[in-house]
Amino acid sequence: MFSRWNWVACGFCLVLNICSPDASAGLVQSCGHIIPESPVLALGSNFTALCILNESCLDFGNIYASQIIWKIKNRLVPKEQYREINRTVSSVTFNDTSSLATPLTCNILADGQIEQNIYGITVTVGLPPEKPKNLSCIVHQKTVLTYVMNCTWDPGRHTFLDTQFRLRYSWPEEIFPDCIPKDVNNSCSINDIQFFVNTEIWVEVTNALGKAESDPLVVDPIDIVKPLSPQNVSVSSEVMPTALKLFWENRISDAVMTLKFNIRYRIAGDTNWMEVPPEDTASPRTSFSVQGLRPYTEYVFSIRCMKEDGLGYWSDWSEEKTGITTEDKPSKGPPLWRIIDTSHSPTSWTVHLIWKALKPFEANGVILQYEVTIRDKSSLSSPVRKYNVTSTNHTLQLPEGTYEVTLIARNSAGASPPSVLLIPASNSKAPVKNLRTLPKHDKLWVGWTAPNSYVLKYVIEWCLVSSSSDCITEWQIAPGDVQGIDLKGIKPFKCYLITVYPLYADGQGSGQSVKAYLKQDRPSKGPTVQTKKVGKAEAVLTWNHLTVEEQNGFIRNYTILYKTIDGNETVVTVDPSKTEYTLSSLTSDTLYTVRMMASTDNGSRTGPDFTFTTQKFGKGEIEAIVVPVCLAFLLIVLLGILFCFNKRDLIKKHIWPIVPDPSKSNIAQWSPQVPAKHNFNSKEQMYPEGSFTDVSVVEIEADDKKSFSEQDLKPFDLLKKEKSTSEGHSSGIGGSSCMSSPRQSVSDSDEGETTQNTSSTVQYSTVVLNGYRDQTPVQVFSRSESTQPLLDSEERSEDHAGGADSAAQRQQYFRQNGGQDETNTDRPCFERTKQITHVNEGDLVGFVQLQISGQSSQPLGLGMEKITQEAALSSVLQTCTEGQTVRPETVEENPLSVDEMPKSYLPQTVRQGGYMPQ
């Protein structure tokens, strides 16, 4: 119980110690303290602190040194750094003070691990001051009598401590007050400076860790003075036009120091200073005459000073003062040139004399007037003409000849040397050679090779070449001993025409010209190309040259780029002098896109695209095709006519066969095998196979046509249309008579339409056997729709009367049909006939039946017909499928049975999707 009370009392005591450490010596006694108290330590050094416990606390609170722990701020110091010296003293050692921080506290770890603070100290870590280096001083003159010495030095490293710098100076027997820097640590200014005594100056620096001094600087302050610059500078003109005199006041007395000076000057407006030789101004003075200046030129002067022996510093430059030299007579004559206009009259010249105003350094004053003198060299007796001019040109009329023009510029000081120009009758002397140009930054250098003769001078003319305005000539004169000059004021990307004339003592050489650019660029636009002529495989392109303003440089070449829509681009390079080019090897009937590019040394520019289409046929190709075809056609027609003419009798017989007159028929001889009913659709029914041997064509007089009604005539109108359609599909060339035969039969029918358009019409079929040239004779099949019974005997007689050839053909026809012994030669005609016959759906039924019978569906070889008449066939097929209403016969009224079908070929209708005999 007692020990607990004892511990509590001790804890209370410790808390008091912590809360009021300053009272340790007062009312409350501390249980310990640390030595050293608030030390200042050098950075990087080692440090040992001791914590000493009071004896009283040992007895009262059972506190011993072994319980001491050290802390830096709140961080525990490792116990390896502790050492228990005795039961009341514990030490802690730091090998490097850089690890230290504030505060460093001594604490007790009492029973129950309660940590109690005993004492704490503040540790300051820093560096001792370094020796100040590089001490230097300068005495600034502030007023005439006031001097301030300012000294600067290198303070060295930062010490992290409060460090005092002081500048000290002394005479051997006099110590002056220290100069304490304010707000800085590297400079200080001393006001009460005395000259002519060597003064020792040094810097002292001190802090808690030490003291250092700089090396002393021993100097007489008069040797480090920077004086004030001379004042009240003035400039006055001298009698000589090349001199000006300066006056000034020094602001330091000779008793203090004697001075030397620097004088600088420049031409007003120029930035480059010139300086009077220093040795000319190395002695004390208050004025100086500057010579070697240009007449009538404004100069700016400035002056500075320093101690005569060169010790110390130069003052600042004084304020600038200006002065103008007096005028002198012009140093040279104005550059003179002429432009001779002979356009009005070759024998009388308009001479424009032009000259350049002298430059200021040549004029040496204000030019009051120019005196122009003209002497006719070809006539010594001619008076000398004199003109006083104030401008820089003069125009006069002179007869053709040789003149000497003299020009003098005059100012208030006198006249210039004369400028002489010879105006010759012609420029017959040798020109310069190898004229060339070379850009140099913003100038254009023009160079040439001098002629062999001695040249007084050269005249260089140049002008800006323009397509819209005249060339405004500028000119310049160069001495005769140079072979090149720089032209100024030349604009980039502009073309200049430069001409160089050599001037000799006795005349003038002819000019040599060259075009030049200061700087080139790519053209501002590309050429616009178009076609002049377009053929099948070639196209002639034309374009205009770019204007000189658009060129921006020398056009080195044109490039033509052309391509088809989907083809690769072809590039052609063209000489820049050309304005036309022919593209060859083009593809006919093709769209081409062409564009053109102009190139200078610095780039290219492409013009707009242009498109053209090559022609399908070349020149003469159409004529070469059409003319032979026409000739061939004419020849064929001619041959056909001749053939028909030779065979006119036979043709006539077949076209207009002799039709037996029924009125002359003999009933006794006519014994119909079938009842006379009007089944005209199927003569095969009427005439079964093998029951007849021939068919006659009934010729009906045209007059009979009128006896038919309109209704009866309608089918024939349609037939007329079909006729014309079929004719349209005919090639007309190479067509055989087989082809034309059916149409011919229609035509025939047209002529004999009365015979075929009534129910009582007797239909006849006629087979015309004929051949074309060496081909197998073609069979013509015609069919009669007559319902009248034919008299066998009459028919036979008619056939016989028609000629043996006709009869043979017909027999051959029917024999082939009847015996099914078809040949390829026969089949085409028959097939053709079927194809141009149009039937309706009902017709097809009949044909299907025919096909079932198997008699008429035997395939026939296409043979020659297929080859020669393919085009015609397709035409006919097309016609049929379009449903044209050619209906020469109708079969639906009385369809036949299979047994009743004759074993012969019948004309069949070819329709799309229908049956077609093979």
Partner 1 sequence: MAAADSPSAALRRRDLCSRGIRLAGKMRADVVDLLDAYVEQQGLDASASVAAMEGVPLAAVERWDEQTGTQRLQENLAAYRAFRALLAQMLEEQREQLGEAEEGLGRALAAVLLQVSAFAYHLEELLRLESRGVPGEEGDAPPPPPRLSLFEQKLRGLGVLRELAQWAVRSVRDLRQLAKPSPAPGAAPGLAESP
CB 248 within 8 A of CB 230: yes
The torsion angle over the Cα atoms of residues 136, 141, 147 and 149, rounded to 10 degrees, is -10
Contact positions with partner 1 (CB under 8 A) in 839-858: none
CB 497 within 8 A of CB 517: no
Contact positions with partner 1 (CB under 8 A) in 758-787: none
CB 743 within 8 A of CB 723: yes
Listed ranges 249-257, 287-295, 597-605, 618-626: which one lies at the site for partner 1 (CB under 8 A)? 249-257
CB 453 within 8 A of CB 475: no
- Cβ-based nearer residue to partner 1, 146 or 691: 146
By CB atoms closer than 10 A (0-12, 13-18, 19+), residue 74 is exposed
Q: How many Å is the maximal CA-CA distance in the chain? A: 195
Listed ranges 255-263, 320-328, 367-375, 425-433: which one lies at the site for partner 1 (CB under 8 A)? 255-263
- Cβ-based nearer residue to partner 1, 308 or 474: 308
- Cβ-based nearer residue to partner 1, 69 or 222: 222
| Alpha helices (H) in 757-803, listed in sequence order | 792-802
Single-letter amino acid code for the residue at 367: I
Angle at 694 between CA 690 and CA 697, to 5 degrees: 145
Is 197 a residue that touches partner 1 (CB under 8 A)? yes
CA 842 to the chain's CA centroid: 77
- Cβ-based nearer residue to partner 1, 143 or 468: 143
Whether the ω angle into residue 330 lies within 30 degrees of 0, i.e. cis, is no
* From 78, 172, 292, 346, residue interacting with partner 1 (rule: CB under 8 A): 172
Listed ranges 193-201, 516-524, 540-548, 786-794: which one lies at the site for partner 1 (CB under 8 A)? 193-201
Which position has the token pair 């240009």? Answer: 294
Q: How far is the CB of 361 from partner 1 (least distance, A)?
A: 47
Q: In which element (H, E) is residue 833 found?
A: helix 827-835
- Cβ-based nearer residue to partner 1, 160 or 171: 171
Is 255 a residue that touches partner 1 (CB under 8 A)? yes
Is 200 a residue that touches partner 1 (CB under 8 A)? no
Q: How far is the CB of 222 from partner 1 (least distance, A)?
A: 7
- Cβ-based nearer residue to partner 1, 46 or 253: 253
Q: How far is the CB of 256 from partner 1 (least distance, A)?
A: 5
Q: How far is the CB of 171 from partner 1 (least distance, A)?
A: 6
Is 196 a residue that touches partner 1 (CB under 8 A)? yes
Q: How far is the CB of 287 from partner 1 (least distance, A)?
A: 23
- Starting from the edge strand earliest in sequence, which strands make up the sheet with 133-141, in order? 187-190, 147-154, 133-141, 225-226
* From 150, 194, 473, 542, residue interacting with partner 1 (rule: CB under 8 A): 194
Can you tell me the distance from the alpha carbon of 560 to that of 580, in angstroms, rounded to the nearest whole number?
A: 11
Q: How far is the CB of 253 from partner 1 (least distance, A)?
A: 6
Listed ranges 158-166, 196-204, 364-372, 723-731: which one lies at the site for partner 1 (CB under 8 A)? 196-204
Q: How far is the CB of 197 from partner 1 (least distance, A)?
A: 4
- Cβ-based nearer residue to partner 1, 220 or 474: 220
6-41 burial code (b ≥16 CB/10 A, e <16): ebeebbebbebbbeeeeebeeebebbbbbeeeebeb
- Cβ-based nearer residue to partner 1, 194 or 579: 194
CB 162 within 8 A of CB 208: yes
CB 466 within 8 A of CB 551: no
Is 860 a residue that touches partner 1 (CB under 8 A)? no
Question: Mind giving me the DSSP string for 428-460?
Answer: -BPPPEEEEEEEETTEEEEEEEPPSS--SEEEE
Is 249 a residue that touches partner 1 (CB under 8 A)? no
CB 452 within 8 A of CB 432: no
Question: Mind giving me the DSSP string for 190-226?
Answer: ESS--SSS-EEEEEEEEETTEEEEPPPEEE-GGGGEE
Is 171 a residue that touches partner 1 (CB under 8 A)? yes
Is 656 a residue that touches partner 1 (CB under 8 A)? no
Is 174 a residue that touches partner 1 (CB under 8 A)? yes
Q: How far is the CB of 104 from partner 1 (least distance, A)?
A: 50
- Cβ-based nearer residue to partner 1, 147 or 764: 147
CB 462 within 8 A of CB 496: yes
Single-letter amino acid code for the residue at 369: Q
Q: How far is the CB of 149 from partner 1 (least distance, A)?
A: 14
CB 359 within 8 A of CB 389: no
Q: What are phi and psi of 462, to 5 degrees?
A: -150, 150
Q: How far is the CB of 164 from partner 1 (least distance, A)?
A: 26
Sign of CA dihedral 223, 229, 230, 234: positive
Is 222 a residue that touches partner 1 (CB under 8 A)? yes
By CB atoms closer than 10 A (0-12, 13-18, 19+), residue 758 is buried
Q: What is the CA radius of gyration of the chain?
A: 68
Is 733 a residue that touches partner 1 (CB under 8 A)? no
Counting runs of H as helices and runs of E as strands, what totals does the chain give? 16, 52
* Number of other residues whose CB lies within 10 A of the CB of residue 912: 11
- Cβ-based nearer residue to partner 1, 172 or 620: 172
Listed ranges 170-178, 489-497, 762-770, 825-833: which one lies at the site for partner 1 (CB under 8 A)? 170-178
- Cβ-based nearer residue to partner 1, 168 or 723: 168
* From 7, 64, 195, 475, residue interacting with partner 1 (rule: CB under 8 A): 195
Q: How far is the CB of 196 from partner 1 (least distance, A)?
A: 3
Angle at 794 between CA 791 and CA 800, to 5 degrees: 140
- Cβ-based nearer residue to partner 1, 255 or 867: 255
Is 253 a residue that touches partner 1 (CB under 8 A)? yes
Listed ranges 254-262, 394-402, 829-837, 889-897: which one lies at the site for partner 1 (CB under 8 A)? 254-262
Contacts of 213 (CB under 8 A, 6+ apart): 131, 132, 202, 203, 204, 205
- Cβ-based nearer residue to partner 1, 167 or 222: 222
* From 217, 256, 274, 282, residue interacting with partner 1 (rule: CB under 8 A): 256
- Cβ-based nearer residue to partner 1, 172 or 854: 172
Q: How far is the CB of 207 from partner 1 (least distance, A)?
A: 32
- Cβ-based nearer residue to partner 1, 80 or 192: 192
- How close are the terminal C-alpha atoms of the chain, in Å? 145
Instruction: Please list the residues that pair with 71 across neighbouring strands.
Output: 76, 105
* From 22, 59, 80, 173, residue interacting with partner 1 (rule: CB under 8 A): 173
Q: How far is the CB of 144 from partner 1 (least distance, A)?
A: 10
- Cβ-based nearer residue to partner 1, 258 or 812: 258
Is 218 a residue that touches partner 1 (CB under 8 A)? no
Is 175 a residue that touches partner 1 (CB under 8 A)? no
Contact positions with partner 1 (CB under 8 A) in 115-154: 145
Listed ranges 31-39, 248-256, 657-665, 897-905: which one lies at the site for partner 1 (CB under 8 A)? 248-256
- Cβ-based nearer residue to partner 1, 48 or 198: 198
Is 178 a residue that touches partner 1 (CB under 8 A)? no
Q: How far is the CB of 179 from partner 1 (least distance, A)?
A: 16
Number of residues that bind partner 1 (CB under 8 A): 17
Binding site for partner 1 (CB under 8 A): 145, 171-174, 192, 194-198, 220, 222, 253, 255-257
